[in-house]
Amino acid sequence: MTDCLLNVKNLSVDFVSADYQVKAVNNISFTINQGETLAIVGESGSGKSVTAMSIMKLHEDKATRYQGAIRFLENDILKMDSPALLGMRGSDIAMIFQEPMTSLNPVFTIGDQICETLILHQKLSNDVALQRTVELLGKVGIKEPALRVKDYPHTLSGGQRQRVMIAMALACKPKLLIADEPTTALDVTIQAQVIELLASLQKEFNMAILMITHDLNLVKHFAARVAVMCDGEIVEQNKTALLFDAPQHEYTQKLLSSQLDKMIDPEVHDNHSVLKADNIRVAFAIKKGFFKRKVDEFVAVDNVSIDLKKGQTLGIVGESGSGKTTLGMSLLNLQNCTGTIHINNQLTSGLNNKAMRPFRKVCQVVFQDPFSSLSPRMTVKQIIEEGLILHQPDLDQQQRYKKLLQILQDVDLPEEVLFRYPHEFSGGQRQRIAIARALILEPDLILLDEPTSALDVSVQKIVLELLVGLQKKYQLSYLFISHDLKVVRAMSHHMIVMKNGKVVEAGETESVFGSPQEDYTRELLEASFF
Amino acid sequence: MTEPAVKQPNSLLNLSPNQRIWRRFKANKRGYYSLIIFSVLFILSLFAELLSNDKPLVIFYKGDLYVPVLVSYPETTFGGDFETEADYNDAYIRKKISDDGWLINTLNSHSYNSINYDSAEANPAAPSAQNLLGTDDRGRDVLARLIYGFRLSVLFAFVLTLIGVVIGIIAGAVQGYFGGRIDLYFQRFIEVWGSMPELYLLIIFSSIFQPGVLILIVLLSLFGWMGLSDYVRAEFLKGRNLEYIKAAKALGLSNLQIMWRHLLPNSLTPVITFLPFRISGSILALTSLDFLGLGVPPSTPSLGELLSQGKENISAWWLSLSTFIVLVGTLMLLIFIGEAIREALDSRKKS
């Protein structure tokens, strides 16, 4: 026997139900040796998660048809019966999931949840299991583990929860760890820490890791071998370095080339200012006691001033909870704040709904999640023309339709989309519709709140290119909120870095990236370009 | 986990959400046929005057055509003695008409409050060729009372449900959309209002006011909106933080426009799901009140009153049995429809 741990051979997975059948995975083969790291890379819908779940045989039995073989050591997992599977899951093969917020049960302490695995698989007594749990938590870098075992999941941060998930997965010293997008939901600085932790634990336990991810950067630094999946098939498989140096398949090349370069002309012209805000402050009162007296306040945005010039982009960077979205909402008067805001040199802060209406035409928003930003019960035509009906009621139907066509052309969508509903479109197309909705009012300023975070890399690049093109064509100003430094670098002229509601660093994008002045900025940069 | 793209045939993709819901509804055969049967019965009952009436449909008398179901003719028209409206069940008038012409009766030649004086048996009389389902304790035709009673019950339920839905949606929408203090006070008000003993109020009011359909609708409406408003409130609370609502705000739409155009269409699922169940609940409410004698006045055709007669006259099996069948049939149809709607609106089910 060689040191081959997992051998997947000609695996196909079909999902069947009464009236449809989907081929999710089509005839793929790969192997993982003991202690090795294999990464499966692909965009959403490529079947990579389906593959991972098949290895644990976690799909609904009735609706799934497997073909091929998954050989783990000497056994074929696909031929195992339920008791054998239960014995294997969690002890020989363990799995960590993407979303640390939902993969821990909120009504049990983290200690209970880790002990459960130990008691179940290793038949340890309660006291010994607890002791082991404390050890494990210490190993995954949780401070004061003896106290923390009694904590409930909601008291932990996202990064800590992911550490707990890892501790849980490691509890029975698995031979294979399947990590399904383990860092996608985490902030960049925490991502780096979790990856380092996984790498060091891998050495210590000598386990193999199957990493499922869309993040090429991560793969480059972490995996020994890479398999690229597209539409349910593995299109290319190679050692990491070789694959990155000389990608063979067209799709791999496309994936690699979707890495972002500078997209804008970085030269800063001194145009007039479209949006100028001084000393913006947003605070939420913390109330306590029977009479709900205000005892303290939580400052979400603390004295932020910005100045955005015509035709330029200001990037706002920060980790989750840094107040960047709150800042954006207050600038558009969608969130109460103190401070002064001028749009096109007119004071807009403190205006009520009605007085604000003329300015609504000038500044528009595009949101992060293309699935919740379009009302599911309106046609695309209704969605896009709504603002037009409100702000230019004098247009007749024909004039409106002409404008609609013009905008669709701008965002590269064909005319027939007008009479369809949002659910028929992919994420990238929906984002185009959202952009069209913002653009049809001919605004001067668009607030882009993480506009590409929910999109696949190749789609991300196309949408960003579209945005840059529109900026040039219409001299638009963008307020670009993002956690992704690469995107901000590619898109923005100026940027500010936010942390805990305060501006840590501000300046021209290139100079901030070239010579960051603050420790926090440096830390961020290292984490995202490691 | 990223889900594999579900490949559906193109024709399905082009349907609007409502069309897809209708398609799913039709796929549930039991619910679909229940809807058809219920609609046919209801529409027929709307024309009850043409189906079951003591006045003939058409009379041909001495070369002239008369339409008694629509127009009231004095007895003198047909050679009688009185200026009052002709009693077409009277043997004397019948003979006069058949001597000089002909008449076409409705399918069941009794109205809901016409009394059969010619009955051979004592009232309540058992089913016979004259009264297909017998008569009640005052000699009125049971079939006719059932037809009119069904119509009244369903119409009453529709109106009650409509009022409840409108008030419920408005109350729920205001609470959910504005949230905060408005929501807080409104919820407390609902708690107080909801804890009032509905039945006692009805008993008290029925002794103060002249009982009638209108007063019943008002009284029941006062309490019927609360359950629904909770659901609508929850939907609005959930919806108001979604990004398309923020986008609508950024477009400059007023609160009313946002609530009406964006939130309401996306919050209707619980409302529509509950409609058939609310309708059947209202029918049941009216029936039980009538049964207790707190409902509509005695001359009005009502299923509850027939049931209570059935209770008084246990041996007159045709009273309770036929009413029971009508009532159970109606409620069952509505529940099947409701079940199918609920399934059709469940977006987790793929069509």
Per-residue pLDDT reduced to its tens digit, B14-60: 567 778 788 888 888 999 999 999 999 999 999 988 888 888 888 88
The percentage of residues in chain A with a pLDDT greater than 90, rounded to a whole number, is 11
A44 in contact with chain B, both atoms CB, cutoff 8 A: yes
- What is the H or E stretch that residue A234 is in? strand A233-239
The percentage of residues in chain A with a pLDDT greater than 70, rounded to a whole number, is 98
Distance from CA of B4 to the nearest CA of A (A): 4
Q: Is the pLDDT of residue A497 over 80?
A: yes
Closest chain B residue to A99 measured between Cα atoms?
B1
Beta bridge pairs of residue A314: A479, A494
The phi, psi pair for A92, rounded to 5°, reads -90, -40
Q: Is the pLDDT of residue A329 over 60?
A: yes
Predicted pLDDT of residue B6: 38
* Contact at CB, B247 and A367, closer than 8 angstroms: yes
DSSP B165-176: HHHHHHHHHHHH
Tokens of A424: 């028929």
Contact (Cβ atoms closer than 8 angstroms) between residue A471 and residue A269:
no
Cβ neighbors of B98 (< 8 A, separation 6 or more) are none
* Contact at CB, B250 and A357, closer than 8 angstroms: no
Task: Give me the residue from A53, A434, A447 closest to B1, CB to CB.
Answer: A53
Distance from CA of B255 to the nearest CA of A (A): 9
Look at residues A50, A270, A414 and name the one whose alpha carbon lies nearest to residue B3.
A50
* 0.80 exceeded by pTM: no
Predicted pLDDT of residue B163: 94
Task: Give me the residue from A375, A387, A421 closest to B262, CB to CB.
Answer: A375
ipTM passes above 0.90: no
Contact (Cβ atoms closer than 8 angstroms) between residue B81 and residue B87:
no
Predicted pLDDT of residue A18: 66
| CA trace torsion A342, A346, A350, A356 (10° rounding) | -110
In tens, the pLDDT along A102-151 reads 778 888 888 888 888 888 888 888 889 999 899 888 888 888 888 888 88
Give A 181-240 residues with CB within 8 A of chain B. Answer: 232
B7 in contact with chain A, both atoms CB, cutoff 8 A: yes
Predicted pLDDT of residue B2: 37
d(CA A519, CA A501) in angstroms, rounded, equals 17
For residue B124, whether the previous peptide bond is cis, meaning omega lies within 30 degrees of 0, is yes
Neighbours of A388 (CB within 10 A): 21
Neighbours of A56 (CB within 10 A): 18
B269 in contact with chain A, both atoms CB, cutoff 8 A: no
Contact (Cβ atoms closer than 8 angstroms) between residue A239 and residue A37:
no
Binning pLDDT at 50, 70 and 90, where does residue A2 land? low
Q: Is the pLDDT of residue A19 over 70?
A: no
Q: Which of A174-183, A370-379, B4-13 has the lowest mean pLDDT?
A: B4-13
Closest chain B residue to A232 measured between Cα atoms?
B4
In tens, the pLDDT along B203-261 reads 888 788 877 888 888 888 988 888 889 999 999 998 888 888 888 888 888 888 889 88
Distance from CA of B233 to the nearest CA of A (A): 18
Beta strands in A73-134 (DSSP E): 75-76, 93-96
Predicted pLDDT of residue B3: 38
* Contact at CB, A373 and B244, closer than 8 angstroms: yes
Q: Is the pLDDT of residue A370 over 80?
A: no
* Contact at CB, B243 and A47, closer than 8 angstroms: no
| Residue A387 with chain B: CB contacts under 8 Å | 251-252
B241 in contact with chain A, both atoms CB, cutoff 8 A: no
Give B 11-30 residues with CB within 8 A of chain A. Answer: 13-14, 16-18
| Residue A377 with chain B: CB contacts under 8 Å | 17-18, 265-266
Look at residues A458, A478, A481, A482 and name the one whose alpha carbon lies nearest to residue A467.
A478
Q: Is the pLDDT of residue A299 over 70?
A: yes
